[in-house]
Amino acid sequence: MVEIVRADDNPACLHFCVTARPNSVSGHSGWLIAMAILIPSCTIAGIIFFTIGAWPVSLFMGLPIVGLSAAFYSVERHAGDFERITLDGDRLILDRHTLGWDQHLEFNSYWVQVALHPTAVGGGNMLALVSHGKEVAFGQLMSDEERETLGRELKRWLAKTRH
Amino acid sequence: MESTMTAVHHEEHPSGLARWLTTTNHKDIGTLYLWFSFAMFLFAGSLAMLIRAELFQPGLQLLSPAVFNQLTALHGLIMIFGAIMPAFVGFANWQVPLMIGAPDMAFPRLNNWSFWLLPAAATLLIASFFAPGGAMAAGWTMYPPLFIQGGISYDMTILAIHILGLSSIMGAINIVTTILNLRAPGMKLMMMPLFVWTWLITAYLLVAVMPVLASVITMLLTDRHFGTHFFSAAGGGDPVMFQHIFWFFGHPEVYIMILPAFGIISTIIPTFARKKLFGYTSMVYAVASIALLSFIVWAHHMFTTGMPVAGQLFFMYSTMLIAIPTGVKVFNWVATLWRGSISFETPMLFALAVVCLFTIGGFSGLVLALVPVDIQLQDTYYVVAHFHYVLFSGAAMSIMGGVYYWLPKWTGHMYDETLGKWHFWLTAVAFNVTFFPMHFLGLAGMPRRIPDYALQFADFNRIASVGAFVLGLAQLLFLYVVVKCIRGGFAAGERPWDGADTLEWTLTSPPPYHSFTTPPNLSK
Amino acid sequence: MRPPSLRILLASLVVGIASPMAWAEYALNLPAPATDIARRIYDLHTLILWICGGIFLVVFIPMFYALWRHRKSVGHEAHRFHEHTLLEWAWTVVPFFILIGMAVPTTAVVISMKDTSAPDMTIKVTGRQWKWEYEYLGADLKFISNLATPQEQLEQQAPKGEHYLLEVDRPLVIPTGKKIRFVITAEDVIHSWWVPAFGVKQDAVPGFVRDAWVKVDQPGTYRGQCAELCGVRHGYMPIVVEAMPPDKYAEWMAAQKTLVAAAQAGAQREYPLPELIAMGERVYMTNCVACHQANGAGIPGAFPALNGSKLVNGPPAGHLDRVFHGKPGTAMQAFGGQLSDMDIAAVVSFERNSWGNKMGDGVQPRDVAALRRTEK
């Protein structure tokens, strides 16, 4: 999910500001449905196999429950993550919030380069900011098309600031 | 500006294996899955060619019986776990995020690991041919006590299946989480494309039954080396218990390999009939009921083990019930075609062939569901014919159709339509020449998994072998068409198929949330 | 290998449309039934095939009609409907009733198949890698039935006989018109005892005794094969059943008993080594050659060589012990329970004096009998 705030919408951002957040469809109900199907079926199968003497099956039946719970838990914890790129005059600011880890990077918009690489084999892409010999990838929460468009827009805008 | 972009692109594109190994992009991983599965398809297919060459005429010509058994076992294992399943996971990786408007899979790094486990497992399986005593030769079903007798390659097989199972579970958890949590806001479950629905249900089946497979092969391992006697009658164990556990995994596994195929067919047919899928809601319920039923039919693989009458009747009735939701699907496809505006591009030809041939496989399944008839046909070539009609003309031909359907999207180029049609007709005709006669062989009494046969079976075996060679060679044409399409061709545009209506054809994620199709006005 | 003959391909096409006369030659259907159950299975299969064929037409005639009439190339415009509640209910409910129609006659056959009560006689069938053992319970007769097709036919060094791979050295003999109960089990791995003409296929599972029954109407020779993958020689484990009228069967049974008595008497005397070796070769070629091979070299990695083997070239007692008791956990079976004292003595003597093994000693039948006595 990508939100755009343009200068005219929000006076706090001088030029424009793009925020990407993970899609998050009401985690709780999805989790409940998933578990409501999985736990009873795994438990019943586990008990039946235990009674016929195949107790290892019962142990293994715990795996899917643990695995899927961990997956849903992790997605829910990451629901508040975001990635924000702000263009503010001669500053390009990259803010990143990933569960208990914040990153705030400022670049001089005159020097920073935007790199858009195609990925290895599949026709996807990756987006990075390059400055002072360092490359910072961003756009993990965006789709390939969104990254591509954002990259193109950023390049166009940065080219403008240099004039 | 455009020229500088290209320059940047060339300078900063670190190529090589490292990029492949570390990529977390769903399209990259989807592509890797598809290529891996195609390589395994050709490898396991060449094992099948050797089998058919040996069976071309009675007598032992090329292979020893020991090697023959290794080939049948590994052909099955690799086709199922190395070709069909990874191919569908490849489709899921490519299409699910695009179809539900998610930026990527829920766990991109987990996705990378799930893929890279596969080549490791495949290497183990292929290497086991060179182990002392040769590869595993107890059939893909690995029934003990025969399996317990084997050598080191049997342990390699167990390890390989563990790795494959782990990969499948991780992939399935990723897909379930992606579909349930990462849909674009506003996309309700009953709005998801049917392909996504089939994969949601398939992923559930995977999560539920792969641990069962893992546990049963672990029990084989401990029986072999750690003194347990789960399955050895001499130690107080029960060889038939293995079959119960194995098929409790095995039957849902069959649907794991066919439900995503239903999803692909339900995507292709409306496109080329230029008409909305008929009975979307009933399709979803049909898929869900097939999945539920798959948990209570497993013992129909075991009618000859000597079950009590009540057991035989229960599993016969539950198996027959599966015909109802499966029938609903076929009827809905036919109703989708009815009064459409139908055209016959390669993907559509494959889809139509799947509908017809899968139905034949469904009918032979119904025949096999009936206990008395199954007693005659169990472990004969009739069963071989049946599951190839379901798995080749059901699953594999859907995969081929799906590849032709989405190739323009994936590569940006149109494939060669003439060669695609050649590939289709060669595959469809050769498939039937190969497998239809096997129904007769099975009825006449030829057991499966035998390297040599009585003279009365010679003619149909020869016909089947000729068909198999053509079928095998035709897949090289498929490889050529795909490579040719990747390397160039007419530009495909955003929507090469005028009837396609799922999200991925409109480049955008769901329209209201997509921010960049009309670039924001940046000048103040 | 001969190239694929065009004639065969054409023939197969013709078969599809040819008269039922030609069909018989190509064995397109289940074999001619020899028991009541097999006949009912045959009829059931025919019925289901007709029903499936009918449904196939009902589904695919409209589909191909649509493919033909509603094509884009003739300018057909797509209609917009995509739901029809009544139709969707109909094609869920109607198949359900068709299925019930199929289930009713099938259930009756299942119940009669499983009814093994009140048999006239019982035969115990034991599956072993890779042969069948038949024991006539209550008649004190037990023998092993091996593949009789010579190795040369398998390897194209001799023309194949009419019953290639479907012939055995000693067929199971049963009387016609009697209800015979088979109790079926296995010694090592799972096998499956299957005679298509009887409509009987029952897995032989180690540790379990399962049963099945037949009542054969007509005298004749009926052939089948092991149906469950049981190892290297799975394809070489045929079943031959000879059904005889009860009076002939009684004669056969009496003759068998005389043979057994004669063999027991013969086992008492001392045999010269060359005679033992000559007899042993025959036993070896039936029972041992599959694994240890005709040249005694075995199959490296799977089956050990006997040629130059330490065990074979050691004391006779150890060699005899291995043949008699087998090696648990491997394909080497305990032949003590399968072969006569005479055969075991002969085959041990043969192995000790064949290929590169030149021990110059042998084992006498009475040595084996002595070993057998210590077991009891």
- Closest CB from A15, A34, A150 relative to B516: A150
Say which DSSP state B445 is in. T
Distance from CA of A75 to the nearest CA of B (A): 7
- The structure tokens listed for A48 are 């039946």
Residues A72 and C332: their CA atoms lie apart, in Å, by: 53
Determine the pLDDT at residue C276: 86
Determine the pLDDT at residue A3: 67
- Nearest chain A residue to B507, by CA: A145
**A47: chain B residues, CB-CB within 8 Å:** none
**B288: chain A residues, CB-CB within 8 Å:** none
- Nearest chain B residue to C107, by CA: B313
Mean pLDDT, chain B, integer: 89
Q: Which one from B300, B388, B413, B423 is the annotated catalytic residue?
A: B300
For B73-101, what is each residue's pLDDT tens digit? 999 999 999 999 999 999 999 999 888 88
| Active-site annotation holds for B20 | no
| Active-site annotation holds for B253 | yes
Among B25, B113, B485, the residue to mutate for chain A (most A Cβ within 10 A): B25
Pair B281, B238: CB distance under 8 Å:
no
Q: Judging by beta carbons within 10 Å of its beta carbon (0-12, 13-18, 19+), is residue B112 exposed, middle or buried?
A: buried
| Active-site annotation holds for B300 | yes
Residues C367 and B299: their CA atoms lie apart, in Å, by: 49
For B3-15, what is each residue's pLDDT tens digit? 333 333 333 444 5
| Residue B507 confidence (pLDDT) above 60 | no
Per the model's pLDDT, the better-predicted residue between C307 and B163 turns out to be B163
Size of interface B-C (CB pairs under 8 A): 314
Determine the pLDDT at residue B509: 28
For C276-315, what is each residue's pLDDT tens digit? 888 888 888 888 887 888 888 888 777 888 888 888 888 8
Residues B265 and B194: their CA atoms lie apart, in Å, by: 10
DSSP, residue by residue, B377-397: HTTBHHHHHHHHHHIIIIIIH
| Residue C101 confidence (pLDDT) above 90 | yes
- Closest CB from A20, A75, A123 relative to B106: A75
Helix (H, G, I), strand (E, B) or coil at B138: coil
Residues C315 and C304: their CA atoms lie apart, in Å, by: 18
Helices (H), B189-302: 194-225, 239-256, 259-273, 280-293
Determine the pLDDT at residue B524: 28
Determine the pLDDT at residue B518: 32
**Looking at residues B140-154, what average pLDDT do you find?**
91
Q: What band does A27 get if pLDDT is binned at 50, 70 and 90?
A: low
Strands of the sheet containing A113-118, edge to edge, are A113-118, A125-131, A134-138
Domain boundary assignment for chain A? 2-22+82-161, 27-77
Residues C254 and C141: their CA atoms lie apart, in Å, by: 10
Highest mean pLDDT among A22-26, B16-20, B155-159: B155-159
Determine the pLDDT at residue B443: 95
Determine the pLDDT at residue C283: 87
For C123-144, what is each residue's pLDDT tens digit? 999 999 889 999 999 888 889 9
- The structure tokens listed for C26 are 């190509």
Determine the pLDDT at residue A12: 47
ipTM over 0.95: no
| Residue B316 confidence (pLDDT) above 90 | yes
**C111: chain B residues, CB-CB within 8 Å:** 309
**A22: chain B residues, CB-CB within 8 Å:** 103, 182
Determine the pLDDT at residue B516: 32
| Active-site annotation holds for B255 | yes
* HSE, side-chain direction, 13 A CA sphere, residue B97: 28
Determine the pLDDT at residue C25: 53
Angle among Cα B323, B387, B139 to the nearest 5 degrees reads 135
Residues C296 and C354: their CA atoms lie apart, in Å, by: 8
| Active-site annotation holds for B167 | yes
| Active-site annotation holds for B505 | no
**A123: chain B residues, CB-CB within 8 Å:** 27, 31, 410-412
**Lowest mean per-residue pLDDT among B100-104, B190-194, B373-377, C12-16:** C12-16
Contact C330 B371 (CB under 8 A): no
Angle among Cα C98, C101, C103 to the nearest 5 degrees reads 110
Pair A159, B1: CB distance under 8 Å:
yes
- The structure tokens listed for B122 are 């495949």
| Active-site annotation holds for B459 | no
Say which DSSP state B133 is in. T
Contact A42 B208 (CB under 8 A): yes
**Looking at residues B465-484, what average pLDDT do you find?**
96
- Closest CB from A3, A142, A160 relative to B103: A142
| Residue C16 confidence (pLDDT) above 60 | no
**B203: chain A residues, CB-CB within 8 Å:** none
| Active-site annotation holds for B75 | yes
Q: Which one from B20, B35, B46, B104 is the annotated catalytic residue?
A: B104
- Nearest chain A residue to B213, by CA: A57
Contact B182 A23 (CB under 8 A): yes
Determine the pLDDT at residue C26: 65
Tell me the β-bridge partners of A136: A129
Pair B28, A119: CB distance under 8 Å:
yes
| Pairing outcome for strands C238-244 and C220-226 | antiparallel
DSSP, residue by residue, C169-185: SS-EEEETTS-EEEEEE
Segment holding C374, helix H or strand E: helix C365-375
| Active-site annotation holds for B168 | yes
Distance from CA of A104 to the nearest CA of B (A): 23
- Closest CB from B237, B279, B451 relative to C88: B279
Q: CB B123: neighbour CB atoms within 10 A?
A: 13
Determine the pLDDT at residue B512: 29
Q: What band does A5 get if pLDDT is binned at 50, 70 and 90?
A: low
**B187: chain A residues, CB-CB within 8 Å:** 25
Determine the pLDDT at residue B5: 33
Residues A107 and A111: their CA atoms lie apart, in Å, by: 8
Pair B171, B26: CB distance under 8 Å:
no
Helix axes B152-181, A55-77, angle to 10 degrees: 40
- Nearest chain B residue to C228, by CA: B379
Whether omega before A31 lies within 30 degrees of 0, making that bond cis, reads no
Q: What band does B522 get if pLDDT is binned at 50, 70 and 90?
A: very low
Contact B459 C8 (CB under 8 A): yes
**B311: chain C residues, CB-CB within 8 Å:** none
Say which DSSP state B57 is in. S
Determine the pLDDT at residue A158: 79
Chain-centroid distance of CA C241 in Å reads 11
**Looking at residues B140-146, what average pLDDT do you find?**
93
| Residue C21 confidence (pLDDT) above 80 | no
Pair A103, A95: CB distance under 8 Å:
yes
| Residue C1 confidence (pLDDT) above 70 | no
Helix (H, G, I), strand (E, B) or coil at B148: helix
Per the model's pLDDT, the better-predicted residue between C166 and B521 turns out to be C166
**B214: chain A residues, CB-CB within 8 Å:** 60, 63
**B1: chain A residues, CB-CB within 8 Å:** 155-156, 159
Whether omega before B437 lies within 30 degrees of 0, making that bond cis, reads no
Determine the pLDDT at residue A4: 63
- Nearest chain B residue to A144, by CA: B103
Residues B178 and B30: their CA atoms lie apart, in Å, by: 15
Helix axes B259-273, B323-337, angle to 10 degrees: 20
> What pTM does this model have?
0.89
For B96-112, what is each residue's pLDDT tens digit? 988 888 888 999 999 99
| Active-site annotation holds for B22 | no
| Residue B290 confidence (pLDDT) above 90 | yes
Contact A157 B248 (CB under 8 A): no
Q: CB C155: neighbour CB atoms within 10 A?
A: 11
Distance from CA of B31 to the nearest CA of A (A): 5
Residues C189 and C208: their CA atoms lie apart, in Å, by: 11
Segment holding C244, helix H or strand E: strand C238-244
Among B456, B457, B465, B498, the residue to mutate for chain C (most C Cβ within 10 A): B456
Contact A54 B173 (CB under 8 A): no
- Domains with residue ranges and CATH for chain C: 28-72+84-115 (1.10.287.90), 121-264 (2.60.40.420), 267-374 (1.10.760.10)
**Lowest mean per-residue pLDDT among B292-301, B334-343, C223-232, C272-281:** C272-281
- Closest CB from C2, C41, C207 relative to B239: C207
Segment holding C128, helix H or strand E: strand C121-128
Distance from CA of C333 to the nearest CA of B (A): 12
| Residue A83 confidence (pLDDT) above 90 | no
Contact C28 B363 (CB under 8 A): no
For C195-219, what is each residue's pLDDT tens digit? 999 999 999 999 999 999 999 999 9
The chains found to touch B (3+ Cβ pairs under 8 angstroms) are: A, C
| Active-site annotation holds for B329 | yes
Say which DSSP state B456 is in. G
Q: What band does A122 get if pLDDT is binned at 50, 70 and 90?
A: low
Highest mean pLDDT among A69-78, C42-51, C291-300: C42-51
Among C109, C193, C201, C239, the residue to mutate for chain B (most B Cβ within 10 A): C201
Which residue, among B509, B503, B472, has the nearest Cα to B43 in the 3D structure? B472
C-beta contacts of B471-475 below 8 A and 24+ residues apart: B471/B426, B471/B427, B471/B430, B471/B431, B471/B433, B471/B434, B472/B45, B472/B46, B472/B48, B472/B49, B473/B426, B474/B423, B474/B426, B474/B427, B474/B430, B475/B41, B475/B42, B475/B45, B475/B427
Determine the pLDDT at residue C2: 43
| Residue C11 confidence (pLDDT) above 80 | no
Which whole-number Å values give the CA distances from B189 to A25, A38, B100, B185, B193, in the listed order? 10, 18, 10, 11, 9
Determine the pLDDT at residue B4: 32
Residues A149 and B2: their CA atoms lie apart, in Å, by: 13
Task: Compute φ and ψ for B515, nearest 5 degrees.
Answer: -100, -15
Determine the pLDDT at residue A1: 60
For B391-427, what is each residue's pLDDT tens digit? 999 999 999 999 999 998 888 889 999 999 999 999 9
Contact B372 C188 (CB under 8 A): no
Angle among Cα B227, B232, B235 to the nearest 5 degrees reads 65
- The structure tokens listed for B456 are 């009365």
- Closest CB from C206, C211, C224 relative to B239: C206
- Closest CB from B103, B183, B204 relative to A25: B183
**C63: chain B residues, CB-CB within 8 Å:** 334, 337, 355
Mean pLDDT, chain C, integer: 87
Segment holding A113, helix H or strand E: strand A113-118
> Domain A2-22+82-161, what fold?
PH-domain like (2.30.29)
